[in-house]
Amino acid sequence: MSAVLELLRPDLRDFAGYSSARRTSARGSVWLNANESPEPSIADGGLSLNRYPDPQPRALRERLAALYAVTPGQLMVTRGSDEGIDLLVRAFCRAGRDGVAIAPPCFGMYAVCARVQGAPLVEVPLLEADGQWRLNLPALVDVVAERNVRIVFLCSPANPTGQALDIDQIRTLAASLAGRAVLVIDEAYGEYSAIASASTLLAEFPGLVVLRTMSKAYALAGARIGCVLADPELIAVLRNLSAPYPVPAPSAALALAALSDAGIAQARQRCDLAVGEREALRRGLLSLPGVTRVYPSQGNYLLVRFNRAQDVFDRLLAAGIVVRDMRAMEGLGDALRITVGSPAENAALLATLQQQVAA
């Protein structure tokens, strides 16, 4: 058994999961093994929705593997990144015993999944100095040993703070945690970043996991397609823990269309536009009175501190502009997160804030 599998919950090491009708090797032309309707619905649209879908659509899996430069055996298609987070916590954490470490302020689903599983949550807050956020690497390594941590979740680029981990930082941390905890790098916003992907380290560190999603750069948030990149042995375990049919056929078809050569080119153009707009929006926000800090960002969003964050939030909402209120997070009592929108949307936001200043 590999070192990463030794970290699994003992009761799941031999768990085979549910053997669905589509996980068998049987092939045929008359399908009478899944109690499906033999006739399609009026709403079918040629997708054969009367039949259960492939749990891991082969064409989609291969296309995503090529996109992220891994083998199909290193990839599992999930319902967005959220499902990957949930499966990992359930796989490695026994309720009340095995901890989940995070570096707040960060994406809230790590804590949610830990709580649902009953896994102790261990927080190692980010350090802030001179308008920059950074990871407290020594403290993170220490808590893994001291608090029986099984999984460390880090997002890069970080949500909501915007900074990204470089490959050397990830390599150092992965080496320090090897055989002790699984390191999960959530790259939901990776396409907007100039930093290389942690997936380049997968062969070197079996205990490293990378999460990707098509919700952001590929504009498919409503389709719920993401993936886990990891050691093939771990991918096999996660498949056994997943729902029988986790990838709806319409979502798989949409994802494949978005991953055509034209779709990939369009996604890159969309990211280039967002990066350009991100910098323009940052300059515009910095020019406004009442803005005390706009953090640099490698994602498609900006974390902004205001003198009167509530007034700003209310003014924007009154103008029909919805931003994310971050003030409930520790250390962000004056902060809002602003997604980089279209040029027209960004201009409307800045105009609204300028009107507030004038008022």
Taking the model in full, what pTM does it have? Answer: 0.95
**Contact, 185 vs 198, CB < 8 A?**
yes
In the three-class reduction of DSSP (H, G, I as helix; E, B as strand; rest coil), residue 188 is classed as coil
* Separation CA 110–CA 181 (nearest Å): 15
Q: Which of 25, 24, 23, 1 is nearest to 14 (CA)?
A: 1
Helix (H) or strand (E) holding 356: helix 343-358
Task: Identify the DSSP state of 171.
Answer: H
* Separation CA 274–CA 260 (nearest Å): 21
pLDDT of residue 33: 86
Query: Tens-digit pLDDT profile for the chain (359 aa)?
Result: 678 899 999 999 989 888 888 877 778 888 888 899 999 999 999 999 999 999 999 999 999 999 999 999 999 999 999 999 999 999 999 999 999 999 999 999 999 999 999 999 999 999 999 999 999 999 999 999 899 999 999 999 999 999 999 999 999 999 999 999 999 999 999 999 999 999 999 999 999 999 999 999 999 999 999 999 999 999 999 999 999 999 999 999 999 999 999 999 999 999 999 999 999 999 999 999 999 999 999 999 999 999 999 999 999 999 999 999 999 999 999 999 999 999 999 999 999 999 876 55
Q: Which domains does the chain have, with CATH numbers?
A: 5-259 (3.40.640.10), 263-358 (3.90.1150.10)
Backbone angles phi, psi at 56, to 5 degrees: -135, 85
pLDDT of residue 32: 85
Q: Locate tokens 């590999």: which residue?
A: 2
**Contact, 255 vs 225, CB < 8 A?**
yes
User: Which amino acid does the sequence have at 30?
Assistant: V
pLDDT of residue 23: 79
User: Which amino acid does the sequence have at 149?
Assistant: V
Cα–Cα distances (Å) from 165 to 57, 158, 241, in that order, read 31, 8, 30
**Contact, 298 vs 193, CB < 8 A?**
yes
- Up-side HSE of residue 112: CA atoms within 13 Å toward CB? 9
Q: Which of 199, 236, 261 is nearest to 70 (CA)?
A: 199
pLDDT of residue 211: 98
DSSP string, 7-54: GS-GGGTT------TTSS----SS--SS---SS--TT-TTS-TTSPPP
- Bond from prior residue into 105 cis (ω within 30 degrees of 0): yes
DSSP string, 267-322: HHHHHHHHHHHHHHHHHHHHTSTTEEEE---SSSEEEEEETTHHHHHHHHHHTT--
Helix (H) or strand (E) holding 76: strand 75-78
Cα–Cα distances (Å) from 204 to 92, 168, 171, 332, in that order, read 21, 13, 9, 36
pLDDT of residue 112: 98
In the three-class reduction of DSSP (H, G, I as helix; E, B as strand; rest coil), residue 216 is classed as coil
Q: Which of 132, 192, 187 is nearest to 163 (CA)?
A: 132
Helices 137-146/167-177 angle, 10° precision: 20
* Separation CA 144–CA 155 (nearest Å): 18
Q: Locate tokens 């269309």: which residue?
A: 257
* Separation CA 102–CA 248 (nearest Å): 31
